[in-house]
């Protein structure tokens, strides 16, 4: 059995994961169940207010990770696979946790729409309003959202494979068993 991520790293992983999955689902429902669940844009506002917390939590998580490293993977996993996992995690950080929230903030900014941080205060715009960039910003956010949906689905499937098929302690490094 190999080591686990330390407590703050695990708390940050599961907190950002829960927010990310909630926000992704809310975004999809806001758009594709609009008439039924989002007629007054309430879910869109919730989507943005919750998602924008990631611009604070993710830098915290990245700094913690750079200071504390990771427990590494067990020797039963080949060096090539370990390298692939590393690249996959790097892609999640860069694309799903940094670029995707920024693209949403960018879209709202060019559209001149307010973004609330939770329901506490309004975020400053990332850039000045730019109606001619509206379509590009929208497609960037929507494209990244779908790409990241697939990437995170793959991440979750791999994690569950470690837990239920490989029994190699990788899942438990992020979710230790008690005792
Ligand atoms: C990790 C963070 C985020 C994720 C996973 C995410 C995901 C999504 C998804 C899946 C959609 C639906 C895409 C579609 O049309 O097919 C969406 C729409 C949208 N997102 Fe995000 N998003 C994130 C962050 C943000 C942020 C920070 C903002 C703005 C501050 C934002 C603003 C929007 C808006 C305005 C929509 C359209 C909603 C509507 O038309 O009612 N998103 N997002
Ligand atoms: C049910 C959902 C999830 C499960 C079961 C899960 C499980 C795991 C496990 C077991 C690890 C450790 C893997 C290793 O050390 O090689 C891990 C790492 C990681 N997870 Fe998740 N995860 C989930 C959701 C998410 C989400 C939604 C995100 C981001 C959007 C995410 C981002 C990451 C990142 C970036 C790492 C690498 C951590 C590091 O070494 O710094 N995870 N996850």
The per-residue pLDDT for range 57-82, each reduced to its tens digit, is: 999 999 999 999 999 999 999 999 99
Centroid of ligand 1 to alpha carbon of 122 (angstroms):
17
Is 58 near ligand 1, meaning CB less than 6 Å away? no
Distance between first and last Cα of the chain: 14
Is 140 near ligand 1, meaning CB less than 6 Å away? no
Measured by CA distance, the residue closest to atom 16 of ligand 1 is: 142
Chosen CATH of 7-174 out of 1.10.3720.10, 3.40.980.10, 1.20.950.20, 3.40.710.10: 1.20.950.20
Measured by CA distance, the residue closest to atom 14 of ligand 2 is: 170
For residue 116, what are the contacts with CB-CB under 8 A and spacing of at least 6? 45, 48, 49, 52, 122, 123
Q: Please tell me the total number of residues recorded for the chain in this structure.
A: 179
Ligand lying closest to the C-alpha of residue 43: 1
Measured by CA distance, the residue closest to atom 1 of ligand 2 is: 156
pLDDT digits (tens, 9 = 90+) for 89-146: 999 999 999 999 999 999 999 999 999 999 999 999 999 999 999 999 999 999 999 9
């Amino acid at each position: 059995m190999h080591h686990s991520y330390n407590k703050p790293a695990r708390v940050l992983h599961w907190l950002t994961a829960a927010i990310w999955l909630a926000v992704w689902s809310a975004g999809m429902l806001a758009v594709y169940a609009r008439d039924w669940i989002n007629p007054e844009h309430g879910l869109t506002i919730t989507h943005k207010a919750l998602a924008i917390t990631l611009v604070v939590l993710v830098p915290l998580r990245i700094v913690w990770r750079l200071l504390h490293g990771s427990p590494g993977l067990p020797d039963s996993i080949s060096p090539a696979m370990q390298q692939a996992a590393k690249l996959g995690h790097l892609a999640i950080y860069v694309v799903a946790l940094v670029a995707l929230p920024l693209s949403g903030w960018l879209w709202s900014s060019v559209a001149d729409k307010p973004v609330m941080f939770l329901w506490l205060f309004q975020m400053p715009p990332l850039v000045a309003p730019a109606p001619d960039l509206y379509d590009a910003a929208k497609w960037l956010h929507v494209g990244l959202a779908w790409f990241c949906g697939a990437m995170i689905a793959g991440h979750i499937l791999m994690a569950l494979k470690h837990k239920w098929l490989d029994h190699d302690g990788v899942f438990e490094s992020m979710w230790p068993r008690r005792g």
